[in-house]
């Protein structure tokens, strides 16, 4: 039985591995060969190739063909879906931070309103 996975799940699965995230960060700077992508890691070329296949299936990279070279390049389009999904929660985070700011202001007002002095302004 074959199941289909939605693109967002596939993208998140590809991003779940720190090696793949590092590869994407490198490709954000420009094209690179498999050997160049493998250089910073203490893993085999076949292991890097497996990571690249995961990234390709997620649509995050593509490999071209220039003579015998197969340079990889970033395809950032699927990251828009991740950004859009996370963006849904931005309003929640902002409202939470606003409530925290208000709570901290209330605490400061109570602290300064009970007759105590701000000791940071006290010269001695």
pLDDT of residue 74: 96
Helix (H, G, I), strand (E, B) or coil at 53: helix
Q: How confident is the model at residue 4 (pLDDT cuts 50, 70, 90)?
A: low
How many separate domains does the chain show?
A: 2
- What's the pLDDT tens digit per position in 59-75? 999 988 766 678 999 99
Buried b (16+ CB within 10 A) or exposed e, 13-46: ebbeeebbeebbebbeeeebebeebbeeeeeeee
- Place 118 in a pLDDT band, splitting at 50, 70 and 90: low
pTM exceeds 0.75, yes or no: no
- How remote is the C-alpha of 84 from its chain's centroid? 13
Packing angle of the helix pair 18-27, 45-57 (nearest 10 deg): 80
The pLDDT score that the predictor gives to residue 121 is 55
Residue 36 predicted with pLDDT over 80: yes
Q: Which residue segment(s) compose the domain that 88 sits in? A: 81-114
**Structure tokens belonging to residue 4:** 């289909």
What pLDDT does 91 receive? Answer: 86
Listed in sequence order, the DSSP H helices in the chain are 7-15, 18-27, 34-38, 45-57, 77-87, 90-113
Q: What is the pLDDT of residue 119?
A: 53
Q: Are residues 31 and 89 in the same domain?
A: no
Residue 87 has pLDDT above 80, yes or no: yes
Instruction: Flag whether 17 is in a domain.
Output: yes
Can you give the CATH number for the domain in which 47 is found? 1.10.10.10
* The pLDDT of residue 65: 78
Q: Can you say whether the dihedral through the CA atoms of 13, 19, 22, 27 is positive or negative?
A: negative
């Amino acid at each position: 039985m074959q199941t289909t996975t939605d693109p967002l799940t596939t993208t998140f699965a590809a991003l779940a591995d720190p090696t793949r995230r590092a590869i994407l960060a490198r490709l954000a700077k420009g094209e690179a060969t498999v050997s160049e992508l493998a250089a910073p890691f203490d893993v085999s070329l076949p292991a890097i190739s497996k990571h690249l296949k995961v990234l390709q299936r997620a649509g995050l990279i593509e490999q071209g063909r220039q003579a015998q070279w197969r340079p990889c390049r970033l395809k950032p389009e699927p990251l828009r879906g991740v950004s859009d999904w996370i963006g849904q929660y931005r309003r929640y985070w902002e409202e939470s931070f606003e409530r925290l700011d208000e709570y901290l202001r209330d605490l400061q007002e109570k602290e300064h309103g009970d007759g105590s002095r701000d000791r940071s302004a006290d010269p001695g």
